[in-house]
């Protein structure tokens, strides 16, 4: 059963030009303290929590994502946390994270979140360059980022992350390097660096073509990835996941559950959950979500989702696990699948191992350098090399999928 919960808070001031998330735009001026939409949403979210089957295992991680959860007045966050605690229980040492966007909350609000038990803050900086922020349609500017960081210092928060995006239109290697340096100077415990993905339905997707100006070309985005790896590891951050860096002891526990392909609850409009061997995504507008919650209550919690097949589980485990620096525990996979699957994984990865894009480790955590036809029997872990293997992860996964889809 899951011990992890994701709560989607869909409200945003504006829709950023690269974003295809399920959100509700409030506009720049709405007073969130008096917003009827927020009151109603919090009620339905709590309703969904209350009708979800539980085996009363206390939650070890809770993640408020969005959207812009920092638009949520603390009294609603309190209500949601109380509902979770009453229904599932929240472990005393739980990681409770919230995503926050600069310019969307006050110092007092941050104090309140902290008092309510939130102990990890993830700030959507995206860039330290006003021109790039404007080109992305972001609500905030550099002055808002500076204010946010001052709030964080004043509240003595140590466990906070900064999110940055590389590959933005008009971004150069120089502006990217500068953003990284500014992030390092702030000294967060965690930094996430995501490469821009052009989703067809977004303003960017309609306006730009991958690799064409004003987007950086493939060569420059690869360089950005390598610069990130060099600069952040040199500054004392561990590159523990393909897009994530953390100081010792500050990896995001909630996201680790995803990458380790563990089950999790999801609540709210558009939220995905992974429970009872089923992945399920909730309706993506507030109206359809509210209707769905009402029906769910009437039906006694009947969700129409199909069980994941064995091949789905295997491929997802590989896809998610290879994002992690520690890679995948093959012994765990061999407990769930036939031995010849492990051999096929090994054979597919041999050329990548020879190209130093993939590493193999034995049970004693030592690298296996000399390999032969039978080496697969002694492999305990597989992992991608950093940064070259991570950069080619899509190609490596495509080879694995090709090989495994037909045989599982
Ligand atoms: S603030 Fe985040 S969730 Fe909201 S529109 Fe921008 S990128 Fe999307």
Pair (12, 119) in one structural domain: yes
Ligand 1: centre distance to CA 25 (Å): 9
Q: What is the DSSP letter of 204?
A: H
Q: Write phi, then psi, for 299 (nearest 5 degrees).
A: -80, -5
**384 with 401: CB under 8 angstroms?**
no
Residue listed under structure tokens 């296996």: 368
Pair (248, 315) in one structural domain: no
93 located within any domain: yes
Ligand 1: centre distance to CA 67 (Å): 5
- For ligand 1, residues with CB inside 6 Å are 12, 15-16, 19, 21, 23, 66-68, 101, 124
Ligand 1: centre distance to CA 175 (Å): 22
Q: Whose CA is nearest to atom 3 of ligand 1?
A: 67
Pair (317, 246) in one structural domain: no
Indicate the pairing of strand 59-66 with strand 120-126. unpaired
341 located within any domain: yes
Pair (124, 254) in one structural domain: yes
Ligand 1: centre distance to CA 78 (Å): 23
Q: Write phi, then psi, for 324 (nearest 5 degrees).
A: -90, 145
Give per-10-residue mean pLDDT for the chain (408 aa).
97 98 95 95 98 94 98 98 98 98 98 98 98 97 98 98 98 97 98 97 97 95 98 98 98 98 97 96 98 97 91 94 96 83 93 97 94 89 98 97 82
Number of domains in the chain: 2
Pair (240, 322) in one structural domain: no
293 located within any domain: no
Where is the domain boundary, 259, 292, 318?
259
**224 with 387: CB under 8 angstroms?**
no
- Domain at 375, CATH number: 1.10.10
Pair (242, 383) in one structural domain: no
- Residues 6 or more apart whose CB falls under 8 angstroms from that of 110 comprise 121, 151, 152, 155, 157
275 located within any domain: no
How far is CA 52 from its chain centroid? 23
113 located within any domain: yes
Pair (325, 244) in one structural domain: no
250-281 tens-digit pLDDT: 999 999 999 999 999 999 999 999 999 999 99
Pair (219, 326) in one structural domain: no
How far is CA 90 from its chain centroid? 21
Residue 128 to residues 69, 132, 164, 193, 378, Cα–Cα distance (Å):
21, 8, 9, 13, 47
Query: Is omega for the bond preceding 132 within 30 degrees of 0, making it cis?
Result: no
**32 with 61: CB under 8 angstroms?**
no
Q: Whose CA is nearest to atom 2 of ligand 1?
A: 67
What beta strand segments (E) does 67-189 contain? 90-100, 120-126, 160-166
Q: What's the pLDDT score for residue 307?
A: 94
Where is the domain boundary, 225, 241, 259?
259
Q: Which of 68, 71, 196 to mutate to test the pocket of ligand 1 (most atoms within 8 A of CB)?
A: 68
56-102 tens-digit pLDDT: 899 999 999 999 999 999 999 999 999 999 999 999 999 999 999 99
- Domain at 143, CATH number: 3.20.20.70
How far is CA 387 from its chain centroid? 19
Pair (21, 120) in one structural domain: yes
Ligand 1: centre distance to CA 60 (Å): 26
Where is the domain boundary, 198, 224, 259?
259
State how far the Cα of 120 lies from the Cα of 159, in Å rounded to an integer: 5
287 located within any domain: no
* DSSP calls for 25-81: E--SS--GGG-HHHHHHHHHHHHHHHHS----PPEEEEEEEES-GGGS-HHHHHHHH
Ligand 1: centre distance to CA 269 (Å): 15
Pair (23, 166) in one structural domain: yes
Domain residues for the domain of 316 are 310-405
Residue 266 to residues 6, 62, 64, 190, 229, Cα–Cα distance (Å):
5, 10, 10, 24, 32
Q: Which of 10, 11, 16 to mutate to test the pocket of ligand 1 (most atoms within 8 A of CB)?
A: 16
Beta bridge partners of 246: 190, 238
**83 with 46: CB under 8 angstroms?**
yes
Q: Whose CA is nearest to atom 6 of ligand 1?
A: 16
Q: What's the pLDDT score for residue 408?
A: 63
288 located within any domain: no
State how far the Cα of 208 lies from the Cα of 214, in Å rounded to an integer: 8
Q: Whose CA is nearest to atom 5 of ligand 1?
A: 15
Pair (39, 159) in one structural domain: yes
Q: Which of 9, 13, 66, 137 to mutate to test the pocket of ligand 1 (most atoms within 8 A of CB)?
A: 66
Pair (185, 328) in one structural domain: no
241 located within any domain: yes
Q: Which of 11, 21, 125 to mutate to test the pocket of ligand 1 (most atoms within 8 A of CB)?
A: 21
């Amino acid at each position: 059963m899951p011990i992890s919960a994701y709560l989607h808070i869909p409200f945003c001031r504006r829709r950023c030009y690269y974003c295809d998330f399920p959100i509700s735009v409030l506009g720049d001026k709405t007073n969130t303290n008096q917003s009827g939409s927020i009151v109603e949403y919090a009620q339905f979210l709590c309703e969904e929590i209350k009708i979800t089957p539980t085996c009363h295992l206390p939650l070890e991680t809770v993640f408020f994502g969005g959207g812009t959860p920092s638009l949520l007045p603390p009294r609603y966050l309190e209500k949601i946390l109380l509902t979770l605690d009453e229904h599932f229980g929240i472990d005393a040492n739980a990681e409770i994270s919230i995503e926050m966007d600069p310019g969307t909350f006050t110092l007092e609000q941050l104090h309140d979140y902290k008092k309510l038990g939130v102990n990890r803050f993830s700030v959507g900086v995206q860039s330290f360059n006003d021109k790039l922020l404007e080109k992305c349609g972001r609500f905030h500017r550099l002055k808002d980022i500076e204010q946010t960081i001052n709030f964080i210092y004043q509240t003595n928060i140590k466990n906070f992350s900064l999110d940055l995006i590389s590959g933005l239109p008009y971004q150069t290697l120089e502006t990217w390097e500068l953003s990284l340096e500014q992030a390092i100077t702030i000294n967060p415990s965690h930094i996430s660096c995501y490469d821009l993905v052009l989703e067809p339905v977004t303003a960017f997707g309609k306006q730009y073509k991958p690799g064409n100006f004003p987007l950086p070309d493939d060569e420059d985005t690869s360089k950005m990835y390598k610069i990130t790896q060099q600069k952040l590891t040199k500054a004392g951050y561990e590159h523990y996941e393909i897009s994530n860096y953390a100081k010792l002891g500050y990896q995001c526990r909630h996201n680790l559950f995803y990458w380790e392909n563990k089950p999790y609850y999801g609540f709210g409009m558009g939220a995905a959950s992974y429970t009872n061997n089923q992945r399920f995504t909730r309706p993506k507008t507030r109206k359809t979500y509210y209707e769905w919650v009402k029906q769910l209550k009437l039906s006694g919690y009947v969700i129409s989702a199909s069980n994941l097949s064995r091949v789905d589980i295997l491929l997802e485990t590989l896809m998610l696990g290879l994002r992690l620096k520690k890679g995948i525990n093959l012994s765990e996979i061999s407990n769930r699948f036939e031995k010849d699957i492990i051999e096929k994984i090994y054979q597919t990865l041999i050329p990548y191992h020879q190209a130093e894009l993939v590493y193999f480790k034995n049970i004693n955590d030592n690298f296996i350098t000399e390999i032969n036809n039978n080496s697969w029997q002694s492999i305990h872990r597989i992992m991608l090399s950093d940064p070259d293997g991570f950069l080619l992860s899509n190609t490596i996964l495509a080879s694995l999928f090709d090989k495994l889809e037909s045989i599982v």
